[in-house]
Amino acid sequence: MEHDAYDDAYIRGILDSVKTIAMVGISPKDNRPSFFAFKYLLARGYRMIPVNPGQAGEKILGQKVYARLSDIPEPVDMVDIFRGSEHVMPIVEEALTLTPKPKVIWMQLTVRNDEAAKRAEADGLKVVMNRCPKIEYGRLSSEISWIGVNSRTLSSKRPQTLGGGVQRMRLGNVSDKGGKS
């Protein structure tokens, strides 16, 4: 697959289908991008699992931190990698040993490892590189337009409320009854 650009339908399909995300490389510091992205996705209804060997056994935003992907006691749909490109291959190799395997390997902004992507795709996983799921979620749901950014998405549908003031935005063009709108 070509990884220089992604079709909106590809990204939307991933964000709509995953429920559990393991974030490798999350920081407990609230001023770090990984913390902010983790908090944002958690507030949008995703089950977020922090992975950071230096914080194993601690909690980040109320979620138990694991040292490695293989320590997580439940299936993971997506592995979100917040580590440098040179650290990606061992993370992907560990992800491929999980049972069941995750559906997606997502590498954050500035993170790209074509060899690791080929390895994951050869095992049937979808791969996204050099993108942030928080940004893509906001863009595709039009939530990002609340701050004046043109997301190229327009909808008159009301968002679903999750409680606590957070809204679960619709990522696709499917109506509440399951058909195309």
Predicted pLDDT of residue 4: 93
Is 95 domain-assigned? yes
Predicted pLDDT of residue 143: 77
CATH of the domain at 24: 3.40.50.720
**pTM of the full structure:** 0.82
Predicted pLDDT of residue 126: 98
Is 36 domain-assigned? yes
Q: Count of domains in the chain?
A: 1
Is 172 domain-assigned? no
Is 35 domain-assigned? yes
Q: Which of 131, 126, 86, 124 is closest to 107 using CA atoms? A: 131
Average pLDDT along the chain, 181 residues, taken 10 residues at a time: 94 97 97 96 96 98 98 98 98 98 98 98 98 93 60 55 55 46 39
Is 44 domain-assigned? yes
Predicted pLDDT of residue 141: 85
Is 126 domain-assigned? yes
Domain interval for residue 47? 8-138
